[in-house]
Amino acid sequence: MSGTGTSPVWEPLLKNLSSDQLKIKTDSAGVGPSDHTSFYLKNIPVLHFFTGSHSDYHKPSDDAEKINVEGEKQILDLIFRLTEKLNGQPKLAFLTTKNKSMSSARSFKVTMGVMPSYTSNEEGLKVDGVTEGKPAQKGGILAGDVIIQIGDYAIKDIQAYMDSLSKFEKGQTVPVKVKRGGETVTVQVTF
């Protein structure tokens, strides 16, 4: 859940509403790759709910039978309880957050073609999906791998991954270290 730092009410309220059945991973930043950013930029507190990606995410093959109905119900119940708690409350106070994704302008000349896991707590960048025909797939990166180094750059999280991509040129081949199962594997990726 992103945006938890955009109002002082979010973190305590979410802590109060969390349960053992629903694990909530929070990010305080008010900006991100979705519509909530537009509201944040107008000084409106935001919450962005995201349940993670999978290999068919944002593809025509992402059909209704792939919906986790029980998980969706848990999320909707949380949103309902959150809305109930806020109903009738005064306007929420707005807080400016440190937005890692906007901390520096990056330009990308390359892409790896992976779908990052937004729910993983592992150090590195866990790969939820790999796009066929893209550099990661051609280099041998698999769904489930955790990218820990690209070239000389250590990958601790998604921000380090994004920062490292801005350093490479199209056509460049670099070693990429991944954790796969219990071992570390190095593959060669050509951008």
pLDDT, position 41: 86
Kindly state the percentage of the chain with pLDDT values over 70: 92
Find the mean pLDDT for residues 149-158: 94
For 41-170, where are the alpha helices, taking DSSP H only?
Answer: 69-86, 135-139, 158-165
Find the mean pLDDT for residues 135-141: 97
pLDDT, position 107: 61
Tokens of 87: 């109903």
Find the mean pLDDT for residues 125-136: 92
DSSP class of residue 43 equals: T
Any idea where the domains of the chain sit in the sequence? 10-101, 108-190
pLDDT in tens, 156-175: 988 889 889 989 999 999 99
22-26, 93-97, 132-136, 171-175: range with lowest mean pLDDT = 22-26
Does residue 46 contact residue 30 with C-beta atoms inside 8 Å? yes
Quick one: angle between helices 10-17 and 69-86, nearest 10? 130
For 41-118, where are the alpha helices, taking DSSP H only?
Answer: 69-86
Maximum distance among all Cα pairs of the chain, rounded to whole angstroms: 57
Q: Catalogue the long-range contacts made by 57-64 (C-beta closer than 8 Å, 24 or more residues apart).
A: 57/115, 57/128, 57/129
pLDDT, position 101: 46
pLDDT in tens, 102-115: 444 456 789 999 98
pLDDT, position 100: 53
pLDDT band at residue 4 using 50, 70 and 90 as cut-offs: very high
**Token pair 């990606």 is at which residue?**
53
Find the mean pLDDT for residues 65-69: 85
DSSP class of residue 104 equals: S
| CATH code that applies to domain 108-190 | 2.30.42.10
**Does 55 score more than 70 pLDDT?**
no
Most confident of 23-32, 100-109, 130-139, 158-167: 130-139
**Does 179 score more than 90 pLDDT?**
yes
Euclidean distance between CA atoms 168 and 72, whole angstroms: 39
Kindly state the percentage of the chain with pLDDT values over 90: 51
